[in-house]
Amino acid sequence: AQRVTQPEKLLSVFKGAPVELKCNYSYSGSPELFWYVQYSRQRLQLLLRHISRESIKGFTADLNKGETSFHLKKPFAQEEDSAMYYCALLSGSSNTGKLIFGQGTTLQVKP
Partner 1 sequence: DAGITQSPRHKVTETGTPVTLRCHQTENHRYMYWYRQDPGHGLRLIHYSYGVKDTDKGEVSDGYSVSRSKTEDFLLTLESATSSQTSVYFCAISVTGTTGELFFGEGSRLTVL
Which residues bind to partner 1, rule: CB under 8 A? 4, 6, 9, 32, 34, 36, 43-46, 49, 86, 88, 90, 95-104
Residues 6 or more apart whose Cβ sits within 8 Å of residue 54: 48
In whole angstroms, the minimum distance from the beta carbon of 60 to partner 1 comes to 18
CA distance 79 to 27: 34
**CB-nearer residue toward partner 1: 65 or 98:** 98
Yes or no: say if 3 and 88 are a contact pair by the CB < 8 Å rule: no
Yes or no: say if 4 and 90 are a contact pair by the CB < 8 Å rule: no
In whole angstroms, the minimum distance from the beta carbon of 101 to partner 1 comes to 4
- To the nearest 10°, report the CA torsion of 92, 61, 6, 102: -40
**CB-nearer residue toward partner 1: 15 or 38:** 38
In whole angstroms, the minimum distance from the beta carbon of 16 to partner 1 comes to 29
